[in-house]
Amino acid sequence: MRKFKTILSLFLIIGLLFSISGCAKDVFTSYKQAEAKTNTVKTGKQKVSFTFASEADMVKLRSILQKGKTPDEGAMKIYETLNSFKDLKIEFTKQYDKSQDKYLSDGFVRFNIYNLKGSLYKDRDNYIIEKPQLPKYVHFTSQEFINGFFKQYGFQSQKLSFNNDIANVLMSIIDEHITKDSIMSNGRKIMNTPNGDIKVKELKITLEGEKLKALKNELLHALRQNTLVSSELDSDKIADKKIKEMLINSIGQLQPLSMEYTLYIDANGYMAEKNISFKGELYYPEIDMNVSKIWDYNSLYWDLDKKQDIQPPKGMDIEGSIDIKTFLEQMNNITL
């Protein structure tokens, strides 16, 4: 039985591969300028959609399962996994006010037979999750979330922290490969937005084949050389090594095929939309089959520098809510 926490490596891969930060020469300059300008915006709205799909010859796989009186155990596990993650989608709409350090995000996660809906409210370092199921509210701080999440993987310290330096190392590697090896193009188009049609500049960057594999290998080397989660305890250093090995093994088995990055910039120089598509293949020796893996990311930006009305969930009762530790335990008991 697979637990909810086993998808950690998937989302770490997503974050790693979708942290692309540049492209080549003029396209690179235009992107960096738009990104920097958009990041200075204090208020606005953003809609993010992420989908993941597996494409496999399910007829062939079913025939493998039907051979003999007892289905092959390894093939059965692969079949269950592919069914569980053949249609995974995450979508949320966020309104934010950086000057007050507030945001409110509404969205859902859909996978297998589950459709998890909810809201996340942030007021400085106080967070509230609102969900349909009782108890409706989960309250926590960022440190409580970090501690609660990583305790599931053997960490014990009460002072855990992410290693931000590794993010800079990985971004630098990505910058270097994209500026050196990518195929780039630009153009113009009319784009539909929540505020109507607008004229935008289109920037497109593609990285594929051996050049994408070289990027993957260099990222893996950097991961091996750096700490992911910092702690003063020796036992946590062992836990960090284990979680890093899980991530490296997951990425190492994936053969990247192509990555396409498209950015739309409005007339004022802000990012209006960002799309990233990644395709790869994973070989399953249990069934002697290559399975295609496809990740698609889309982000829309609008109402930039406009006043946002951000209010906490109505009916919030701290006494009737649960803490993040209890919530994570409940999530981990979900069978995929």
Contacts of 324 (CB under 8 A, 6+ apart): 138, 139, 140, 144, 145, 148, 149
Rounded Cα–Cα distance for residues 27 and 37 (Å): 15
Rounded Cα–Cα distance for residues 284 and 292 (Å): 11
Average pLDDT over residues 308-335: 79
pLDDT at residue 30 tops 90 = no
Q: Would you state the pLDDT for residue 124?
A: 95
Res. 198 pLDDT band, cuts 50 70 90: very high
Q: Would you state the pLDDT for residue 17?
A: 47
pLDDT at residue 18 tops 50 = no
The two three-digit tokens of residue 300, written as one number: 């829309």
Q: Would you state the pLDDT for residue 306?
A: 93
Rounded Cα–Cα distance for residues 88 and 113 (Å): 10
Of 72-76, 238-242, 258-262, give the lowest mean pLDDT range: 72-76
pLDDT at residue 141 tops 50 = yes
Res. 264 pLDDT band, cuts 50 70 90: very high
Rounded Cα–Cα distance for residues 15 and 32 (Å): 19
Q: Would you state the pLDDT for residue 300?
A: 95
The owner of tokens 């088995």 is 253
